[in-house]
C-alpha cells in the first residue's frame, strides 16, 4: 500500500485501517492550522523518538507518508529508555523464537544502515552468558539459536576459564558464547535515525504532546507544549515508559518502570583486557555488561530497587548503589575491583506484564496506536519493530502470530 491508497482507504473508512482522514477533514484541519498558527498536518504523527518511535517514523516516511515525529526532550535524550551510551544485542530467547529471528534480522539491518549513514553504531563484540548449571531455559535458548542458525559455542567450566581469564569463574559450570552478537550505540543510534528521518523529508518537532480533540471514537489532533496542534488520520504513541502517563486509564497496572543503574569502571592504564575487541558482552550473576568501548569504561548494568517516574527520577547513583556495583565487580571481575567509577547513568525499564512488546490500537480511539513495553530488551529490536509497526499502521500484511503476542494482556502488576 502506497500513500495514495493509504489515504484513499482512510478516506473511505474501510478495510483494516478505518482511519478518519478525508480530503474534507484534511482541508478543514489545514484551514484550522492556518487559523490557529498550528503545526502542519501529517498523514501520521509519531510521538516519541526513542528506538521504537524513531524507527517507526523513518519506515513510514520511507513508505512515502508525510510523517511528523514529536519528542518532548529529543531523540535518545537522557530521560528516555533509549538514552545512554550502549545497548546489548543478545540473541538467546528461550521459548520466544520470534525475538531471536528479529535479532538476526536486526544484525543485518544495523550493518546496512551504519554503512549507508557512514557512522559506527554496531560493535561485533560477541556475548558470553555464564551459568552455574545447565538449566531448561539455557537448553531452550540453545535449541532456538541452533534452529535459527545463530553460531554458538557451549563452553564448559575449563573452556570459560581458559578463554576468559578476566572472569572469576568460581561456581560457573557453563557458558554460551555467541560470537556474532554485539553492542549498539544507543543515544547516537536514535540521533542517527532522527537525522535520516529528517533527511528523508520527515518533520521533527521538540515538544510534549497531549491528547487533543476526540470525536467519533477517533483522535483528531494532539496539542503541543509550544501551543501548536497537529492533526492527522493516524497517531502512534511510542512513548516508552510514559505510556501510563499519557494513557492512565488503558495502561493502569499494565506497565511499571524499575530504576536501572549503569556503572562504568575504569580499566587500568595500558591494560586492554577488558576493552573491545578483547572482551565480549557478558551476562552473569543477575547482571550484564559490556567491554570498554571508545574508552568509556567497563560497563555493568544492574537493576535498582525502586519503581520510578521517567520525568522526575534523580539520575545520580546513591552510595548504596555504587557499593552494590563495586561488590558485583569484586566478585566477578576482581582485576577491576580497585578501579575508579569513571561514569554512571541511571535509566528505567518499561516492563509490560509478560515482558512482550505492546503494539495495539487504543481500545476507544481506533486511529491511535500504543507502542512500547520494551521490557529491558527493546532497543536492538527497534530497527525491525519499527517496520512492523509501520506495516500495521499502513494496513499491510504482517505475521499474524505476532499481533496477539503484542496485545495488552488482561493481567496487571499487583
Ligand X SMILES: Cc1cc2nc3c(=O)[nH]c(=O)nc-3n(C[C@H](O)[C@H](O)[C@H](O)COP(=O)(O)OP(=O)(O)OC[C@H]3O[C@@H](n4cnc5c(N)ncnc54)[C@H](O)[C@@H]3O)c2cc1C
Q: Is 289 in the site for ligand X (CB under 6 A)?
A: no
Q: Is 85 in the site for ligand X (CB under 6 A)?
A: no
Q: Is 328 in the site for ligand X (CB under 6 A)?
A: no
**Contact track, ligand X, 112-141, x by CB under 6 A:** ------------------------------
Q: Is 239 in the site for ligand X (CB under 6 A)?
A: yes
Q: Is 246 in the site for ligand X (CB under 6 A)?
A: yes
Q: Is 384 in the site for ligand X (CB under 6 A)?
A: no
Q: Is 71 in the site for ligand X (CB under 6 A)?
A: yes
Provide, rounded to whole angstroms, the least separation between the CB of residue 9 and ligand X: 27
Q: Could you say which of 43, 85, 221, 262 contacts ligand X (CB under 6 A)? A: 262
**Contact track, ligand X, 362-381, x by CB under 6 A:** ----------x-x-xxxxx-
Provide, rounded to whole angstroms, the least separation between the CB of residue 171 and ligand X: 24
Q: Could you say which of 10, 29, 52, 172 contacts ligand X (CB under 6 A)? A: 52
Residue whose C-beta lies closest to ligand X: 374
Q: Could you say which of 68, 82, 178, 367 contacts ligand X (CB under 6 A)? A: 82
Nearer to ligand X, 23 or 409 (CB): 409
Provide, rounded to whole angstroms, the least separation between the CB of residue 15 and ligand X: 28
> H/E/C letters for each residue in the chain?
CCHHHHHHHHHHCCCCCCCCCCHHHHHHHHHHHHHHCCCCCCCEEEECCCHHHHHHHHHHHHCCCCEEEEECCCCCCCCCCCCCCEEEECCCCCCCHHHHHHHHHHHHHHHHHHHHHCCCCEECCCEEEEECCCCHHHHHHHHHHHHHCCCCEEEEHHHHHHHCCCCCCCCCCEEEEECCCEEEEHHHHHHHHHHHHHHCCCEEEECCEEECCEECCEECEEEECCCCEEECCEEEECCHHHHHHHCHHHHCCCEECEEEEEEEECCCCCCCCCECCCCCEEEECCEEEECECCCCCEEEEEEEEEECCCCCCCCCCCHHHHHHHHHHHHHHCHHHCCCCEEEEEEEECCEECCCCCEEEECCCCCCEEEEECCCCCCHHHHHHHHHHHHHHHHCCCCCCCHHHHCCCCCCCCC
Amino acid at each position: 500500500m502506497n500513500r495514495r491508497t493509504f489515504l484513499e482507504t482512510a478516506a473511505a473508512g474501510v478495510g483494516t485501517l478505518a482511519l478518519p482522514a478525508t480530503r474534507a477533514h484534511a482541508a478543514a484541519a489545514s484551514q484550522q492550522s492556518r487559523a490557529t498558527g498550528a503545526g502542519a498536518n501529517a498523514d501520521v504523527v509519531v510521538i516519541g523518538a526513542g528506538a521504537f518511535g524513531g524507527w517507526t517514523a523513518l519506515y513510514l516516511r520511507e513508505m512515502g507518508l508525510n510523517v511528523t515525529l514529536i519528542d518532548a526532550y529529543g531523540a535518545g535524550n537522557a530521560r528516555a529508555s533509549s538514552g545512554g551510551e550502549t545497548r546489548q544485542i543478545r540473541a538467546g530467547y528461550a521459548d520466544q523464537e520470534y525475538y531471536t529471528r528479529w535479532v538476526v534480522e536486526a544484525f543485518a539491518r544495523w550493518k546496512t544502515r551504519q554503512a549507508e549513514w557512514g557512522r559506527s553504531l554496531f560493535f561485533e563484540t560477541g556475548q558470553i552468558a555464564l551459568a552455574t548449571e545447565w538449566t531448561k531455559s539455557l537448553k531452550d535458548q540453545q535449541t532456538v539459536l541452533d534452529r535459527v542458525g545463530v553460531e554458538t559455542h557451549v563452553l564448559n567450566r575449563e573452556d570459560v576459564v581458559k578463554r576468559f581469564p578476566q572472569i572469576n569463574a568460581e561456581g560457573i559450570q557453563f557458558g554460551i558464547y555467541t560470537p556474532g552478537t554485539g553492542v549498539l550505540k544507543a543515544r547516537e543510534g536514535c540521533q542517527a535515525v532522527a537525522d535520516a528521518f529528517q533527511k528523508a523529508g520527515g518533520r521533527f518537532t521538540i515538544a510534549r504532546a497531549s491528547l487533543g480533540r476526540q470525536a467519533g471514537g477517533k483522535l483528531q489532533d494532539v496539542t503541543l507544549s509550544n501551543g501548536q496542534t497537529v492533526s492527522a488520520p493516524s497517531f502512534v504513541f511510542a512513548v516508552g515508559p510514559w505510556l501510563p502517563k499519557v494513557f492512565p486509564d488503558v495502561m493502569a497496572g499494565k506497565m511499571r518502570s524499575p530504576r536501572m543503574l549503569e556503572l562504568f569502571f575504569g580499566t587500568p592504564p595500558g591494560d586492554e583486557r577488558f576493552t573491545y575487541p578483547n572482551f565480549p558482552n557478558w551476562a552473569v550473576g543477575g547482571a550484564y555488561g559490556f567491554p570498554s568501548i571508545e574508552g568509556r569504561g567497563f560497563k555493568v548494568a544492574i537493576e535498582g530497587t525502586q519503581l520510578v517516574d521517567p520525568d522526575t527520577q534523580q539520575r545520580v547513583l546513591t552510595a548504596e548503589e555504587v557499593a552494590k556495583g563495586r561488590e558485583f565487580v569484586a566478585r566477578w571481575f576482581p582485576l577491576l575491583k580497585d578501579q575508579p567509577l569513571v561514569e554512571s547513568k541511571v535509566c528505567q525499564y518499561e516492563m509490560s506484564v509478560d515482558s512482550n512488546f505492546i503494539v495495539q490500537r487504543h481500545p476507544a480511539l481506533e486511529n491511535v496506536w500504543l507502542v512500547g513495553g520494551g521490557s529491558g530488551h527493546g532497543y536492538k529490536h527497534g530497527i525491525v519493530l519499527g517496520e512492523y509497526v509501520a506495516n500495521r499502521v499502513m494496513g499491510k500484511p504482517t505475521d499474524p502470530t505476532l499481533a496477539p503476542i503484542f496485545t495488552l494482556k488482561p493481567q496487571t502488576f499487583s
